[in-house]
Amino acid sequence: MQTRLLIVEDQTALAENLFEFLGETHYALDFAADGLTALHLLSSRTYDVVVLDVMLPGLTGFELCKRMRQDLNCSTPIIFMTAKGDLPDKEEGFELGGDDYLVKPFALRELQLRIDALSRRGTAGNAGLTAGDLSYNPDTLQASYRGLHAVELSGASCRILELLIRSYPKFVSHEELSNVIWGIDDGDTHTLRTHVYTLRKTLQKEFGHSMVRSIHGRGYRLELPHSGGGEVAQ
């Protein structure tokens, strides 16, 4: 089965390179040169992954991501690609609901690996997961704590929380988290920290506890409030 892929890029040369490289494999490709065209395609068609440039004419990639998540209620995985590689830029992209962030210039093969990792993300057959008073449903992407209102997660936060709950009370290594997010064991550690920070920030805001503890040099684990451990800042 072909992976349905939307590429949103205003640089013609790069878009042609992407089409030439990916078109020879198992992808069904659509293209948009601006955010408004992409928004129209997303409202009328279904995709497995969106590869989204940040600096677009009219509607930026970040604005398009926000409208996808809020207006269209679209949970299709998004890979941002941009020359803006500073941590605040990445943090903004992840908080808006992005799943991955690739800084230009990049190897086309790396992009393909990230596309494949996101497209393999399955949703079937998942029942609700619990760890203490924290629960998460992979089918609805909603987390709740002690019966409080459910919050819908997005981006890599979903997969990180799911793995942490499944592994609780054991810790999860950096390599395991990288594999869940990107499909490889040696993903960028700084980007991984940003993903974890985004999840912590959401849990702290919604439930009053960040719940994710750093295990120095090894990984992360859930640390629920009733377990008696302190909060660990990243």
190 falls within a domain? yes
How would residue 225 be classed by pLDDT, with cut points 50, 70 and 90?
confident
Global pTM? 0.58
Domain of residue 153, CATH code: 1.10.10.10
How would residue 36 be classed by pLDDT, with cut points 50, 70 and 90?
very high
124 falls within a domain? no
- What gap in Å lies between CA 186 and CA 165, rounded to an integer? 22
19 falls within a domain? yes
Region for 89 from its dihedrals, namely left if φ exceeds 0, alpha if ψ lies in -120 to 50, beta otherwise: alpha
34 falls within a domain? yes
Can you tell me the mean pLDDT for 117-134? Answer: 69
User: Which of 59, 93, 119 is the last residue before a domain boundary?
Assistant: 119
Does one domain contain both 7 and 73?
A: yes
Can you tell me the mean pLDDT for 33-42? Answer: 92
Higher pLDDT, 227 or 201: 201
How would residue 226 be classed by pLDDT, with cut points 50, 70 and 90?
low
Q: What percent of the chain lies above the pLDDT cut of 70?
A: 91
Does one domain contain both 98 and 136?
A: no
- What gap in Å lies between CA 230 and CA 228, rounded to an integer? 7
Does one domain contain both 41 and 21?
A: yes
Provide the pLDDT for residue 55: 92
Domain count along the chain: 2
Provide the pLDDT for residue 25: 62
> Strand 172-173 to strand 219-222: parallel, antiparallel, or no bridges (unpaired)?
antiparallel
How would residue 52 be classed by pLDDT, with cut points 50, 70 and 90?
very high
> Strand 134-137 to strand 129-131: parallel, antiparallel, or no bridges (unpaired)?
antiparallel
Does one domain contain both 23 and 115?
A: yes
172 falls within a domain? yes
Can you tell me the mean pLDDT for 72-77? Answer: 85
What sign does the dihedral 69-72-76-78 (CA atoms) show? negative
Does one domain contain both 167 and 103?
A: no
Local structure of residue 164 (DSSP, 8 states): H
**Which domain, by its residues, includes 148?**
129-227
Does one domain contain both 103 and 160?
A: no
The mean-pLDDT minimum among 115-129, 131-145, 163-177, 207-221 falls in 115-129
